[in-house]
Amino acid sequence: MKKRAIILFFSCCSILASCQNNSNKPVNQKPAGMETDKVVKTEEEWKKILTPEQYEIIRKKGTEAPFSGKYDATFEKGTYTCAACDFELFKSDMKFDSRCGWPSFDNEIAGDRVKKVKDFTHGMVRTEILCARCGGHLGHIFDDGPTATGNRYCVNSVSIHFIPDTTKTK
């Protein structure tokens, strides 16, 4: 029994050490077909085009209070874009009510629109999601979604902009 406990201890230490060594390594490196579309600005330029709240969340990786965002309870048909660079990220049919207090999506628009990076802040291991075009902080992705994908992209309303679908169906 003592031997088993020692093996388990060293296995856990090994796993934790490997996680620490890769803490800043992106999960997916380069979004396909976007090398020339990148939006690069200085922090001063971002401060001029974003509101103070957007700057705090999108550039400084902040989080809005739960149930405070304008898109948490929005379920109209349309597209959600990055609030910083207008890159299309999510469609309304990907959105669901997770009751977590933030807009939640089960998938992203095809084409590596969202960059995923390991996040070890606040004593947790999570996967941060960023706009693949401008690098703006969107929120985090979790594997507890209720749909077939199992994903829950938990997004700050401040980080996205909603464009309603204006096409009329007969």
Kindly list the catalytic residues: 154
Tokens of 144: 């507890």
- Of 98, 84, 97, 102, give the one whose Cα is nearest residue 159: 84
Beta-bridge partners for 137: 130
Assign 89 to helix, strand or coil: strand
CA 135-139-51 angle, to 5 degrees, is 65
Assign 134 to helix, strand or coil: coil
